[in-house]
Structure 1
Amino acid sequence: MGDLQVCIVPNRNGVIFGEDRLCPLPSSPSSPSLPTSNPDFGFISAEAWMGKKTYSMILNIPIDSLFSEGVDLPPIGNEGFLRTILPRVVKAIADTGGDVLRFETPEAFNRDKFFWFSDEEFARQTLAGLNPYSIRLIRAMKKKKLFILDYHDLLLPFVKRVRLIKGTTLYGSRTIFFLNPDGTLRPLAIELTRPPMDDKPQWKQVFTSCSWHSSGVWLWRIAKIHVLAHDSGYHQLVSHWLRTHCVTEPYVIATNRQLSVMHPIYRLLDPHLRYTMEINALAREALINAEGTIETCFAPGSTPESLALLLMSLNGASTCKHCLLTLLAGMAVEDPDAPHGLKLTIEDYPFANDGLLLWDAIKEWVSNYVNHYYPGPSQVESDEELQAWWTEIRTKGHEHKKDEPWWPVLKTSKDLIEIITAIVWVTSGHHAAVTFGQYTYAGYFPNRPTIARTNMPTEDPSEEDWKRFMKKPETALFQCFPSKLQAIRVMAVLDILSNHSPDEGYLGKTMEQSWADDPIIKAAFERFNERLKMIEGIIDENSRTEMELEPCLMSF
């Protein structure tokens, strides 16, 4: 979001630092990082448009032709989705005189073209994929072995309206995972629910990964498409848009309205808030607008449903409520002996393990900075600019939640440290975790379909429909995937969002001149830089160890 970013891409090996940036690929620690956001949705490099030779997928379905052959472009006029969402790309194509759009093959597909079929990979990505925030421990089970990805209550109210849209469908879903003795997750069951509608009673069915009949295997695979579409929609609308971009806007506005540019907190926050408003404005014009990419290509679908989903998720939607420790509480148990008072219930949780290292480093740097400028016990409370800043954030920026008891007070340096640490985390670590791996994970859409187009074959099938499914179940699988146009549109957007800005900044790299002129702040910043390098070494070592122990699980 802001200029200073850390590219956390959660994977089995967590955060990987390159020489001057973080890198998302565990088996290639020296490869360049996925990019941060910028006002133009990223710098379009020539390499991003070079096709790579790939091989035909199973059943001769030409999914990979999007990469190897490209897509014939229609005449590009002043209108149309390419002109709307990819103006720089369209110009680049027009300048070269080409009429074919080619996509770079996602790294995951390059390494294993069947990785998306794997139940193990499906489970792994709930912890180490694009949306590592949604999975939760089922606390009623004493042994802490069952986990849930629950979109039942959230999506069920939208099912009737979404099903009125041609070419799409929706269910409420629950997915149960089991923690294996080796510390990895295994999906056990998926429950899909349709509420009573069209004079039909409620429909509900549980699908399992264990079946003695091939039809059960295919039903399980189709059920996974629905769950992945639900998770993709939630990731894009809530984890990414709402919990990073939207909740940050009040902080950007209040910082510029209430704090002098010479104020130490302004100078600390400014690099992290840079470009946020421009990015959000572009997103409203091209991504979350009516008939935009999110509405047409992601579950739950149309703008009213998307807005309703956002409104339902607004409870506690402030930057301070979405600090790392709060979000991880759903996957941890209280433990006073643990470093953060929380013990993770899954040890192999790369996003959490590596994110906590970064959280601690950010908090140490913020603590040194704040304590230097506010050494006295009452200086925070007596700073009129700072108090006006915090009041506006609570009462104007989050007016509908201004009286909630969870808002922290701002009286002491400790209070300020907690608030600033949360803001820096959300605009760097959190944002990076849900953003920069998008093309790597979702560029090959069978791995992460963004919308499901057909109902389950077992939902009120006609005799003829069931015969067709039993004869050729793989056809039902591919009919459920996004259409080719939807896939192209999503891939193009994700490719843009995952490109690197030429003026990008990174945590701990660029020291502001006023900090360099202050020996205490300069020393604190240099310690921050050194700690990030230490974290880099820890994660690199973890990467090598994981690859040696479990190479078969290292899809990327």
Structure 2
Amino acid sequence: MEHRGVCSSLQDCLNVLSKLAAGHEVQTSNSSNPCIIRGKIIIQQSHGESAPGKSASIQLYSRTQVDPSTRKGKLSGKAHLKNGKSGWYDGTRITTYEIKFFVEADFGIPGAFVIKNQHKHKFFLQSATLEIPDAQTIHFDCNSWVYPVDKTKIDRLFFPNTSYLPNKTPNALVKLREEELISLRGDGTGEREEWDRIYDYDFYNDLGNPDKGSQHERPVLGGSKTYPYPRRGRTGRPPSHNDPLTESRPEKIKLDIYVPPDERFSPKKLSEFIENTIQATVHFLIPEAKSLSQENTSHFESFDEMLNLFTSKRNQVVEGWLKEKLKTMVPDELLKKITRASKENPTKFPLPQVLAENELAWKDDEEFGRQMLAGINPGVIKRLKEFPPKSANGDMSSIKESDIANNLDGLTFSQAMNQWRIFILDYHDYLMPFLNKINKNGVCAYASRTLLFLRNDASLKPVAIELSLPSSSSIEENNRVFLPSTEGTEAALWQLAKAHVAVNDSGYHQLISHWLKTHAIVEPFIIATRRQLSVMHPIHWLLNPHFKDTMHTNALARSLLINSGGILEKTLFTGEISMELSSALYNHWRFDEQSLPKDLLKRGLALTDSEKPSGVQLLFEDYPYGADGLDIWDAIKTWVKDFCSLFYTNDDSVNSDNEIQAWWSEIKEVGHGDKPNETWYQMTTCSDLIEVLTTLIWTASALHAAVNFGQYGYAGYPPNHPTMCRKFIPEEGTQEFAEFLRDPDKFYLKMLPERFEMTLSVALIEVLSRHISDEVYLGQQPSLEWTDNEQIREKFKQFGENLKEVEKKIVERNRDPKLKNRWGPAKIPYKLLYPDTSNVGFRGGITGRGIPNSISI
């Protein structure tokens, strides 16, 4: 390369002059001294799709030279995509184009480009690279769908991997920055088309389908005190015929529900997601069809029969009536593939971790307690601060001191309370108002309280379970207290009681810990970020990896999982009121309590300790989720603090950042607008900004990983974490009690969901628990050129080193025999918060480890 302002080679200049002499158009002005900027454009292709080729053209905007007529950067002539070279990279077909821009000598340094797609199809633009004559290289991580211009009516604009606060933006890019944000906000009207790159808010008014009948009516979530909820991305579909407040739904379930193009899965990810869905559905269909062909009952008859889900192959074809059932749950484009796959590749469910070492470990009381600290829902258990437990309305629990006094390993009850050794898993208050709605159509659910004792070895021993039902008199509750036992009838009843607690836990886990507190909570932050923070804003850049694919994942959930008649309604005991119940819990949600240290303090699992980086000290060391989580939290916060210090020198620099202030106001007042009086950070200091960003990144990465990717390992075996009960615990003297006494195991299995519901649930969590191979993990970036700022690179490198130190700590903890909760009777090492920084190759599959940057499944 030559010096700036001079052609890169004599031959290039001669080529330009030759074209001019021949009367050909060249991409330059009338300058006598044209220069060449070379570029490389990389496009991902789906199977069967053609690359855009010369139907796509690109123009550059200068970052350093302003065009007085437009007040934007100077605009180059066009360069077309020609002679692309296609190949395969890491399982993805890509086409690479080498292009040249002939620009005048004083064009300056490129600061953006626009691409016009005149091809008939959309294409996925992965990245672009420009090389200018002074040997400077400018990188663009695009990762976006580019739609035909006859659809969008505007060209697509991209900025490079360079960050500026608003008041530091180069003059040539100021207007482009402003116009881009305005275009992304839209005007809030009209139905969104696939190609619309517009971000706006709406209520959850698309879960019901009243046009299919009253059984599919669901309340609108959001916009009212009765049903508060975070906002979702607006699609703008017209209202349904039977309810003007409910958005209409497509006649058939589809995978292409609207999300803005930048939020859509890449071709590779979409293909892999579809394949995983097919595989899991086949796992579900084959045993279901087999059971029908053998005319079995609707329930599993023995634990051995249930184990056959994981231990034997099947070759039965899918029955026609079963395909009819699937039509209400699976998009048409998948149904044929599923049917074909069920014949061509019959297979079995993978073996869940909870069965791998000890098939009976799930029955153990110690394992039951351990999973509250290291299972898939470890953020609910709390220290009991007063006895007896009582409801928010003042109603007292029926558990007495005498029930547990002899089961405290030699301590008196007062000693156990004073030493903070009594804990509670409390699913009473949130369920009690809903039980009358839930307990119909064969569902039998209690509201539960479980008391546990912290032993000297830090294992949790359950000491009492209270199961409650509303009384018909509506004055007193109908409570039953069960105590642990190891022999006879009492031991069998105790197992039934633990199953009902596990059902409560399953519902809370899926609807609150998983869906509400990660997926739903984060979506308004994504929308506000796209609308109010330019892609050039450093905080947009910081957060962007943690938003990857979340809106598309959530849109699929609204279409397939959480909608009326969707998979969660069919498999969870909460049924058709599932989302209504999550709205009730959102009433108690606070963003600041999404912070792990504050959550631990609130639940009494930690104490304030100013000497610790996180500001807290765990109540006891052997709390795997808490110990590993605090290390991850500290690493994230250090990275966020280091990053912010490069752009914000003092509190005034945060206050004066108009984009950040607009972003935060919109999150509080619109995105989470049903909670305007909540205790939000004020966003007036650097400390506020750091705490908000740390909490958001923690939620999208580590918290989601902790509650999602261990699902199959624990709940893949339904008796360990059932989602529904079909029977109450029988009362002495009844016919059901006699049936229970004749065969407690058979009664237990009949109490669990029916075969169809159970295998469908296993298929669902098999999909949810799989890592997708294109995920980017915490401490990693999708490309080598993700930023042009060397200081940021150094800070991020240190973030990666800190995460490697966390990995070492986790390995050491898992090797420490004194930390019993790291493995438990089931012999499952706790790795759900293991960052997995060294695994840079293929990371797909059910691994039970690794922290993806975002909520991408």
Residue 92 (structure 1) shift: 5.2
Residue pair 1:442, 1:448 contacting (<8 A) in 2 also: yes
Residue pair 1:454, 1:479 contacting (<8 A) in 2 also: yes
Residue 196 (structure 1) shift: 1.1
Q: Give yes or no for the alignment of 1:64 onto 2:337.
A: no
1:80 aligned counterpart, secondary structure: helix
Distance in 2, matches of 1:326 and 1:199, equals: 36
- Equivalent residue runs for 1:128-527 within 5 Å: 128-140=374-386, 141-164=417-440, 166-197=441-472, 202-210=477-485, 214-302=488-576, 305-329=577-601, 330=603, 331-404=605-678, 406-458=679-731, 463-510=734-781, 516-527=787-798
Distance in 2, matches of 1:373 and 1:477, equals: 60
Residue pair 2:518, 2:699 contacting (<8 A) in 1 also: yes
Change in CA separation of 1:374 and 1:514 when aligned onto 2, cut-off 3 Å: farther
User: Which digits, 9 at most, give the CA deviation of each residue in 1:8-67, with x for residues without a partner?
Assistant: xxxxxxxxxxxxxxxxxxxxxxxxxxxxx976784746997799xxxxx99564101222
Residue pair 2:366, 2:824 contacting (<8 A) in 1 also: no
Residue pair 1:288, 1:295 contacting (<8 A) in 2 also: yes
Distance in 2, matches of 1:77 and 1:478, equals: 23
- Specify which of 364, 372, 375 is matched with residue 126 of structure 1: 372
User: Which digits, 9 at most, give the CA deviation of each residue in 1:418-442, with x for residues without a partner?
Assistant: 1111110000000000100111111
Residue pair 2:362, 2:826 contacting (<8 A) in 1 also: no
Change in CA separation of 1:225 and 1:505 when aligned onto 2, cut-off 3 Å: same
Change in CA separation of 1:413 and 1:426 when aligned onto 2, cut-off 3 Å: same
Change in CA separation of 1:195 and 1:95 when aligned onto 2, cut-off 3 Å: closer
Change in CA separation of 1:417 and 1:199 when aligned onto 2, cut-off 3 Å: closer
* Structure 2 partner of 1:32: none
1:65 aligned counterpart, secondary structure: helix
- Report the number of matched residues: 509
Change in CA separation of 1:532 and 1:250 when aligned onto 2, cut-off 3 Å: same
Residue 368 (structure 1) shift: 0.8
Give the letter for the 2:534 counterpart: S
Residue 173 (structure 1) shift: 0.6
1:209 aligned counterpart, secondary structure: coil
Distance in 1, matches of 2:819 and 2:279, equals: 31
Residue pair 1:39, 1:279 contacting (<8 A) in 2 also: no
* Structure 2 partner of 1:75: 320
The range that moved more, 375-384 or 250-259, is 375-384
RMSD: 2.9
Change in CA separation of 1:334 and 1:364 when aligned onto 2, cut-off 3 Å: closer
Residue 332 (structure 1) shift: 2.1
1:506 aligned counterpart, secondary structure: coil
Distance in 1, matches of 2:434 and 2:580, equals: 9
Distance in 1, matches of 2:380 and 2:749, equals: 26
User: Which digits, 9 at most, give the CA deviation of each residue in 1:334-379, with x for residues without a partner?
Assistant: 3445543333223210001001001110111111111101123311
* Structure 2 partner of 1:114: 360
Q: Which has the higher contact order (CA 8 A, sep 6+)?
A: 1
Change in CA separation of 1:175 and 1:549 when aligned onto 2, cut-off 3 Å: closer
Residue pair 1:106, 1:439 contacting (<8 A) in 2 also: yes
2:418 aligned counterpart, secondary structure: coil
1:218 aligned counterpart, secondary structure: helix
Distance in 2, matches of 1:518 and 1:97, equals: 53
- 5+ residue gaps, structure 1: 4-36, 52-56
User: Which digits, 9 at most, give the CA deviation of each residue in 1:503-551, with x for residues without a partner?
Assistant: 1101112276676421211110110111111111111122122499797
Residue 297 (structure 1) shift: 1.1
Residue 483 (structure 1) shift: 1.1
The range that moved more, 381-390 or 70-79, is 70-79
The range that moved more, 306-315 or 446-455, is 306-315
Residue pair 2:384, 2:423 contacting (<8 A) in 1 also: yes
Distance in 1, matches of 2:323 and 2:303, equals: 36
Give the letter for the 2:355 counterpart: F
Residue pair 1:335, 1:342 contacting (<8 A) in 2 also: yes
**TM-score for both structures, normalised by structure 2:** 0.56
Residue 204 (structure 1) shift: 1.2
Q: Which structure shows the bigger proportion of residues in helix conformation?
A: 1
* Structure 2 partner of 1:14: none
**TM-score for both structures, normalised by structure 1:** 0.85
Residue pair 1:298, 1:451 contacting (<8 A) in 2 also: yes
Residue pair 1:146, 1:176 contacting (<8 A) in 2 also: yes
Q: Give yes or no for the alignment of 1:532 onto 2:803.
A: yes
Residue pair 1:320, 1:423 contacting (<8 A) in 2 also: no
Residue pair 1:196, 1:203 contacting (<8 A) in 2 also: yes
Identity among equivalent pairs (%): 37
- 5+ residue gaps, structure 2: 1-142, 144-267, 285-299, 387-416, 829-857
Residue pair 1:124, 1:184 contacting (<8 A) in 2 also: yes
- Equivalent residue runs for 1:535-550 within 5 Å: 535-546=806-817
Residue pair 1:43, 1:500 contacting (<8 A) in 2 also: no
Residue pair 1:83, 1:90 contacting (<8 A) in 2 also: no
Residue pair 2:813, 2:819 contacting (<8 A) in 1 also: no
Distance in 2, matches of 1:297 and 1:343, equals: 39
The range that moved more, 64-73 or 124-133, is 64-73
* Structure 2 partner of 1:84: 329
2:498 aligned counterpart, secondary structure: helix
